[in-house]
Structure 1
Amino acid sequence: MTTQPSRRSLLKAAVTMGAGAAVLPALPAALSSAAALKHPGLLHTQADFDRMRAQVNAGSQPWKAGWDKLVANGRSKSTWKPRPLETVVRGGTGANHVQLAIDVAAAYQNALRWKISGEKAHGDAARDTLNAWSAALKAVTGNADRFLAAGIQGWQLANVGEIMRGYPGFDLDRFKKMMLTVFYPLNDQFLKGHNDACITNYWANWDLCSMASILAIGVLCDDQAKVGQAVEYFKHGKGNGAIMNAVPFLHPGGLGQWQESGRDQGHSSLGIGLMGVLCEMAWNQGIDLYGYADNRFMKGAQYVAKYNLGETVPFTTYKWGTGQKCAPREQTEASTAGRGANDPIWAVLYNHYGVRRGLAVPYLEAYSKRVAPEGGGGDYGGAKYDHLGFGALTFTRATATSGGGGGLLPTGVSRTFESVNYPKAYIQATGRIGATALTLRIVPGLSDAKGYSFVDSEGRYLRHKDFLVRFDTNDGTALFKRDTTFHARPGTADGSVRLESVNYPGRFIRHRDNVLRLDKAEDTTLFRADSSFRPAT
């Protein structure tokens, strides 16, 4: 007897085949060795650049304020002249690494200006800076800090190279060779050997900059193994940069203690910024590190943000070993050193967790607003080039003030949904309408940014399954994304909307016998009223 495939399995296969049109990347557990890497596919995709350009040209905020910040930075001028070195030294006698850091910032800022404005002079400046360094640089050296230079400037350089891929006159092959022979060996050496020290001797940010550089170089060079190396270390590495060690303790209130919190807040923020970079680059390759281990990174970032906003946080005594023999050390409270710094690291985090995912992240949101619009290298002091910055310009997605989705609903805000023809009856978590109002966060549609998805306080998405409405946790599949995405159509009352399924066009969410269903549209007054809901604060 032949078993016939179910309608659901056939639909899932069809949707998977058509998933290439999805706005957000697929979220496989690990990157398939057969999967093609996406370009540009590090911190910014082409869709990101298109959004930046459109919003800046329209004068929309906060993109325009971010653009003005970029233009005002002296390193973004098209007249920039690089100062390449044959040997970069960080730590010890003859340190000169800031010279590299400044030129990398200038190359990035000019690359951004070219991608957004189209001005060739800025593209030429970015290209010439990269070409000058790839022609000159032979080594990164110094004391142990050489690993920091290879990590931080490694991931930054790879990002600029990725942006400039295909630009006339850019020597991509020579640039790749530099990244593979000068930067990657130090990144790899550190993660595998930790400078011959105890595995816990080095703080989280040392691992994280090396991981970010390896992942970025892997994408730039179309090297799946390197991307996989960084992802594997994030999930299962032994050093302090791996997620379970970077956030070693969880606390009530959705907080995760950051590994460097007892050290000082400047390095805690550095680590948060580096992990944000790593997660965003992975996300743009279809790998969800942001959500790994039940959003553990989000909890760590919320913890650091809350404490640096001046609030108190719980602290579990942190013990570790130092030096080559793992001499025991411990910390008993969060350090106040460097507390409250305004580093340009928060926009990417808020726009992922709060806007892209629609989760409640009040401390990330507050910090993102506090430092907006973020500047970049050169805006935060003479030697502060750890972050590329300009997050308001590059990472801001649709919000309530900017519109979003299909235009009928704001995104990045929370609303209840009241039935138009049954006043005081609201969409509920049970898949019914009733007197208890359920607050839902409105986010751009998971499979179509012109549509909408709706998320409850537990992070579950409103979706249809077998034509009934329910709430489920995101499983990362293309089918789930389409089941949770709806196009908004005008409802029967002013300000009301009807929600049409993306993967079942012509079917709308409606209530029937108080149960929420996905029913085929009928040309009747009753159906139109049953399928109309009024969003309200």
Structure 2
Amino acid sequence: MSSDLPHPHDMSPTADQRPSRRTLLRAAGGLAAAGVLGVGTAAGVSGRAEAAPLLFTHPGMLNSWGELNRAKVYVAVGLEPWRSGWNRLVANRHAQSTWTPNPRATIIRGGPGANYPLLYNDIHAAYQNALRWRIAGTTAHADAAVRILNAWSAILTTITGNADRFLAAGIYGYQFANAAELMRGSPGFDLARFRQMMLNVFYPLNDRFLREHNDACITNYWANWDLCTMASILAIGILCDDDAKYDQAVDYFKNGAGNGSLRHAVPFVYESEGLAQWQESGRDQGHSLLGIGLMGAFCEMAWHQGEDLYGYDDNRFMKAAQYVAKYNLGQDVPFTTYTWGSGQNCAPQRQTVISSASRGQPRPVWDMLHYHYARRRRLSVPYITAIAEKGRPEGGGGDSPYGTTSGGFDQLGFGTLLYAR
């Protein structure tokens, strides 16, 4: 399935009914199906007996070949808004080929000795240099990205700290995998070693959190904790051509017991208004925006593998994004009292009103959603469109509008450059 083609709901089965390309491949079986459907192959590391690598498209996470090529063509001729998005990228200090990595064997997030900014700054530098190479073809930026990725895969063995270690493994796991996906096939990049780092350092924490939730009540952790974990597992599955990990993440999105699964992250739907309440809306808007960005990234990565989660459950995520966008544009939205259990004993908690904390905070999450729903799908999403226009052109990690602390690096960004169509 091309990521550039519209998929109108009124002319095809619903997302719940439509088999994904991966399902069709399984049904058709093996190399013959790959030949019929035009799916590329890649060397796998999972050791599974079935031909799992045939099921994955590369590059196939946040950025596909078609989108990268479109940006390359339009930047070269100076067409807007790609040119403005490109200018945001090249002005970022992380996007410079002179960037020097600072790898550590142990990364700590939460508690004494915290050093995790070293990791997220290097990840964003690798990703931004990889984008410059993919779009402009400059080998110096390819060399910089490879240098950063190889430096970390050679030394990182442990992510630790308090409960925040799970956030580090999730957020930086999916981001790191995306940087590596862009450099797949680049001379000098040790993909095999990088895959092993992702499988041995990041995935075990990801898997443990989804299974155990740090030994807390299943509803104790907010949606973004599950979502970053799910995004990391999905990205690792794609990077490593690991069918089981990919399926683990998608199944949790649809059926998981924690707050990152779709029906828990979006607990209330206001059908007549085309809106749906986000799980963290009563907490604050900064974390609501983070959650929208993480679920959007999850859906975008799955989309490039032929899986329409954007439209799953009658566009439930779209309605939630509309809700968060509308409120952060300064307009009123409905709110249903939200109750949950906290701590290890599920002590009852409740929120009776939406929170205005961090309302209107800028985050580079909206252009990806606007260009998917309004352009790919030809759906009306006025609040998503309005808030995307307000923040355009989007930058990325290290750009001042988003902050200089870890929250400013929660999204890889550059949606205007990468998703405009």
SS of aligned partner of 1:140: strand
Q: Distance in 1 between matches of 2:142 and 2:148?
A: 10
- In the other structure, the counterpart of 2:394 is 374
2:170/2:228 contact within 8 Å kept: yes
Q: Distance in 2 between matches of 1:21 and 1:257?
A: 28
Residues 235-270 of structure 1 deviation map (CA, whole Å, 9 limit, x = unaligned)? 010000000000000113100000000000000000
Q: Distance in 1 between matches of 2:305 and 2:251?
A: 15
Q: Distance in 1 between matches of 2:312 and 2:246?
A: 16
Mapping 1:47-86, distance limit 5 Å: 47-86=66-105
- In the other structure, the counterpart of 1:449 is none
- Give the counterpart letter for 1:260 in structure 2: E
1:28/1:288 contact within 8 Å kept: no
Q: Are 1:265 and 2:285 matched, yes or no?
A: yes
Aligned residue-pair number: 379
Mapping 1:33-432, distance limit 5 Å: 33=26, 36-251=55-270, 252-379=272-399, 380-383=402-405, 384-397=408-421
- Give the counterpart letter for 1:162 in structure 2: E
Q: Distance in 1 between matches of 2:355 and 2:246?
A: 34
Distance 1:382 1:354, change over 3 A: same
Residues 171-215 of structure 1 deviation map (CA, whole Å, 9 limit, x = unaligned)? 000000000000001111000110000000000000000000000
Q: Distance in 2 between matches of 1:296 and 1:344?
A: 21
1:82/1:129 contact within 8 Å kept: yes
1:30/1:228 contact within 8 Å kept: no
Residues 201-238 of structure 1 deviation map (CA, whole Å, 9 limit, x = unaligned)? 00000000000000000000000111111100000100
- Give the counterpart letter for 1:154 in structure 2: G
- In the other structure, the counterpart of 1:445 is none
- In the other structure, the counterpart of 1:466 is none
SS of aligned partner of 1:330: strand
Q: Distance in 2 between matches of 1:20 and 1:279?
A: 15
Q: Distance in 2 between matches of 1:49 and 1:269?
A: 25
Q: Distance in 1 between matches of 2:382 and 2:121?
A: 33
Q: Distance in 2 between matches of 1:23 and 1:204?
A: 30
Q: Distance in 1 between matches of 2:394 and 2:147?
A: 26
Residues 139-187 of structure 1 deviation map (CA, whole Å, 9 limit, x = unaligned)? 1000000000000000000001111000000000000000000000111
1:140/1:149 contact within 8 Å kept: yes
SS of aligned partner of 2:273: coil
Mapping 1:416-455, distance limit 5 Å: none
SS of aligned partner of 1:136: coil
Q: Distance in 2 between matches of 1:325 and 1:153?
A: 30
Shift of 1:20: 8.3
Mapping 1:510-525, distance limit 5 Å: none
Distance 1:312 1:24, change over 3 A: closer
What is the TM-score normalised by the length of structure 2?
A: 0.88
- Give the counterpart letter for 1:100 in structure 2: L
SS of aligned partner of 1:328: strand
**Structure index of larger Rg:** 1
Mapping 1:435-514, distance limit 5 Å: none
Residues 302-328 of structure 1 deviation map (CA, whole Å, 9 limit, x = unaligned)? 000000110010000000000000000
Q: Which runs of 5+ in 1 are unaligned?
A: 1-18, 398-537
Q: Distance in 1 between matches of 2:66 and 2:349?
A: 47
Shift of 1:51: 0.2
Shift of 1:23: 5.1
Shift of 1:21: 11
Shift of 1:31: 3.5
2:114/2:161 contact within 8 Å kept: yes
2:22/2:55 contact within 8 Å kept: no
Distance 1:43 1:255, change over 3 A: same
What is the TM-score normalised by the length of structure 1?
A: 0.69
Distance 1:121 1:195, change over 3 A: same
Distance 1:395 1:138, change over 3 A: same
Q: Distance in 2 between matches of 1:236 and 1:142?
A: 29
Shift of 1:22: 8.6
Shift of 1:28: 2.4
Residues 25-49 of structure 1 deviation map (CA, whole Å, 9 limit, x = unaligned)? 9962584355520011001111111
Shift of 1:382: 1.6
- In the other structure, the counterpart of 2:19 is 28
Of structures 1 and 2, the one with the larger relative CO (CA 8 A, separation 6+) is 2
2:286/2:359 contact within 8 Å kept: yes
Distance 1:255 1:50, change over 3 A: same
Distance 1:366 1:338, change over 3 A: same
Structure with bigger helix share is: 2
Structure with bigger strand share is: 1
SS of aligned partner of 2:160: strand
Q: Distance in 2 between matches of 1:225 and 1:264?
A: 35
Q: Distance in 2 between matches of 1:323 and 1:64?
A: 48
Residues 397-431 of structure 1 deviation map (CA, whole Å, 9 limit, x = unaligned)? 1xxxxxxxxxxxxxxxxxxxxxxxxxxxxxxxxxx
Shift of 1:98: 1.1
1:92/1:142 contact within 8 Å kept: yes
Residues 455-478 of structure 1 deviation map (CA, whole Å, 9 limit, x = unaligned)? xxxxxxxxxxxxxxxxxxxxxxxx
SS of aligned partner of 2:73: helix
Distance 1:20 1:331, change over 3 A: closer
